[in-house]
Amino acid sequence: MDRVNNFLVMLDTYLGGSNWFPLLLLGTGIFFTLYLKFPQIRYFRHATRIVTGKYEKDTFQGDTSHFQSLATALSGTVGTGNIGGVGLAIYIGGPAALFWMWATAFFGMCTKFVECTLSHKYREVDDRGYIAGGPMYYMKNKLDMRWLAVLFALGTIICSFGTGNMPQINNIATSIESTFHLPAWITGGVLSVFLALIIIGGIKRIAKVTEKIVPFMAAIYIIGALSVIVVHWQNILPSFALIFNGLFKGSAAVGGFMGASMAYAFNRGVNRGIYSNEAGQGSAAIAHSAARADEPVSEGMVSILEPFIDTLVICTLTGLTILASGAWTHKVDNVFQRTDMEIVSGRFLQDNPEHVKILSAHIRAMKQDDVRPYSGNLNVRDGKIDGEVTVIHARSIAEDIRVEQAGNPFSGQLTIENGMIRGPDVTLSGKSLVHSAVLTAEAFTNGLFGHYGQFIVSIGLLLFAFSTVISWSYYGDRAVTFLVGTRFLIPYRVLYILAFFAAALIDTTIVWSLAAVAVVLMTVPNLFGILMLHKDMKRSIADYWKKFEREHLDEYSHFGVHD
């Protein structure tokens, strides 16, 4: 598993982890924002009216209402990215990563507007009478690039497992086990049954479930986040100062956090931003394509609300909770995951600035001759390591380390190869930084609800992530329909459910690594496609307002949004 994870991490350095990907993502959003004259601002109020169903008619073709499409798409985006993804971004890139999540969301509002409009415009009806839409259909029907559509559809299927399915249940199971001490296989098994009952019913049953879950889960989570922020209200402004101070010079080392460069903050912020709101990925466009609307632009406007709710509201609350509470710098007792751990030669101390500087560079993969991964045998006596080594876990110097085997203190020798434990089968635990959903849960214990705050994260994660799994089953469903027709939908759904159960038992780190690679497989073809159709998009907007003026002259004059 270590080798698989290392391979995925290596791929990510050339794909999502490289500089060209976030630049392409942000650049596309900036281009459309300027080209279409800031539609995410000008059309925002109009979008809120559309989503209430004010202009909707039963005669319009589609499988879901505007609100159901928004709820389905939101349930696909509001997931572990909002809880675990924000914690991961701050843990790697420091507080400044949150700013780049905001930037991704603001420009992503425009990107999503474009991709959802075009996907709705060129949608089809499958052989069962259901709407089949998404970027693969504008690639095929307008661009006449079936090869690009096939590439996107394949990426969607992989992403349905790599981002929409496996990381979600993995975070649910980890959080539930940590909070309620319920074994992961039980959580995975019970939720697998519920998943099967829901996705067999198709988009109409999915929409009915998500429109009820989304408002409820958002309310619970927002209350929990505010309970922490209120207690630490005096740290709100300093938290914003940390975010903006680190923009161009990186984040300094503080507490257990060893610092982060500006490049790390930018890269991780943008990557976690797209993982959170999926703007540019093209996934939400599949849900919006099913909406009942006679004008594709109207549904595109509804999609503007997604990144706003997902990132600018929910992710900001998560980020402020983590920063204001100080949880991002605190070491807590936890069980170490092997793929998140390295043993290096020599004793490094947290209170030695030179040691912190050297280790920080090592963690960020910068060449440092003073840090060498340990290889050899280590003696362990009654659970304590005897040797001149330092254990690094979750990018921090681990403390109070305990080595156990089958729940008892271990005595014997550990075989270490290039910093990794190769045998025997033991568990290491102690104090270190934590990340992802565990970091958010730790932050929530510092509010009005005290220790019980972590239950809000666990319940919120359960609802957020499970709704994401439901929505992504539909995205993969439509991609399978595009590639091979509806006859293979049942095999896909069975495989989807089996992967869902298996992922509850897989190491968290490797699942996130898979997700990071899978996102790029969808995003790049989609961004290329919408850039090719920029003139088509502009014409569609002009046609929409001409029709709207004829039908709603009084409102048209009031909005004053025509080009």
Do 376 and 240 lie in one domain? The reply is no
Q: How many domains does the chain have?
A: 2
Separation of alpha carbons 334 and 438, rounded Å = 10
Q: Find the radius of gyration of the CA atoms of the chain.
A: 24
Please report, for the domain that includes residue 259, its CATH number: 1.10.4160
Q: How many CB atoms lie within 10 A of CB 197?
A: 11
The domain boundary, picked from 432, 463, 486, lies at 432
In terms of Cα–Cα distance, which of 296, 274, 308, 309 is closest to 66?
296
Separation of alpha carbons 392 and 378, rounded Å = 15
- Both structure tokens of 70: 């928004």
Chain center to CA of 133: 23
443's enclosing H/E stretch is helix 436-444
Strands (E), 83-184: 124-125, 131-132
- Confidence label for 207 from pLDDT (cuts 50, 70 and 90): confident
> Position 277: which residue type?
N
The domain boundary, picked from 403, 432, 461, lies at 432
Domain region containing 229: 2-330+443-552
- Confidence label for 26 from pLDDT (cuts 50, 70 and 90): confident
Do 12 and 131 lie in one domain? The reply is yes
Give yes or no for a contact between 541 and 297, defined as CB atoms under 8 angstroms apart. Answer: yes
Q: What is the DSSP string of 269-335?
A: HHHHHHHHH-TTT-SHHHHHTTB--S-HHHHHHHHTHHHIIIIIIIIHHHHHHHHHHTGGG--EEEE
Residue 78 has pLDDT above 80, yes or no: no
Do 177 and 312 lie in one domain? The reply is yes
Question: Integer distance in angstroms from the first to the last C-alpha of the chain?
Answer: 55
173's enclosing H/E stretch is helix 166-180
Check residues 101 and 82 and name the one with the higher pLDDT: 101
390's enclosing H/E stretch is strand 389-393
Do 450 and 469 lie in one domain? The reply is yes
Do 339 and 313 lie in one domain? The reply is no
Do 213 and 290 lie in one domain? The reply is yes
557 is a domain residue = no
Give yes or no for a contact between 458 and 176, defined as CB atoms under 8 angstroms apart. Answer: yes
- Confidence label for 180 from pLDDT (cuts 50, 70 and 90): confident
Check residues 12 and 500 and name the one with the higher pLDDT: 500
306 is a domain residue = yes
Residue 39 has pLDDT above 90, yes or no: yes
Mean pLDDT of 212-218: 81
The domain boundary, picked from 400, 432, 464, lies at 432
Do 466 and 425 lie in one domain? The reply is no
Torsion angle, alpha carbons of 503, 17, 278, 434, to 10: 50
